[in-house]
Amino acid sequence: MDKKAHSVLCAINETSKDGKAVIMEKDEFLSASPGLTGAELNEILKGFVVAGYINLRYQDGDEYCVIALPKGRLIAETEVKQPSKKEDKNSASASPTSLSSIVDTSDLSIGIDYKKLFKYVFLASLAGALPAVLIGVAIIIAVLK
């Protein structure tokens, strides 16, 4: 997480210490992080919502209703990593407001084994259909007698 995003997250956590919804002005965010633009702020807040750091109830012009979530409070309490020289070169070429520069997106991918899923769904449907067929046959036999 870059320093701008970290300062925005810290500002949210300082305002919403008890985890309740608070209304913050755009100027509060911009003063917390010098050099931050409105477009960057919107991208940072979207990234925080996706990562589960905050809950953004609504945005009305320059007002934001935000709630600091426990995951976001934990991240804000940790120090910002000092980027190495190699990371400095990479961050200069990347957009500072991209989602990957705000949060670690590696944990957002989900791997699904569809063959295994199909097998379990198929077996579950058979397990549900078998008792239904047996009950149906029992009713037909009882009616025919």
Residue 82 domain-assigned? yes
* Range 15-25 burial, b when 16+ CB lie within 10 A, else e: ebeeeeebebe
| Residues 44 and 78 reside in one and the same domain | yes
| Residues 54 and 15 reside in one and the same domain | yes
pLDDT of 123 higher than 80 = yes
| Residues 61 and 126 reside in one and the same domain | no
| Residues 51 and 7 reside in one and the same domain | yes
| Residues 117 and 73 reside in one and the same domain | no
Lowest mean pLDDT among 62-66, 98-102, 139-143: 98-102
Of the two residues 17 and 116, the one the predictor is more confident about is 116
| Residues 82 and 116 reside in one and the same domain | no
Of the two residues 128 and 79, the one the predictor is more confident about is 128
Nearest-CA neighbor of 67 among 76, 57, 75, 77?
57
Indicate the pLDDT class of residue 138, thresholds 50, 70 and 90: very high
- Indicate the average pLDDT of the chain: 79
The predicted structure's pLDDT at residue 2: 81
* Residue 122 structural domain: 111-145
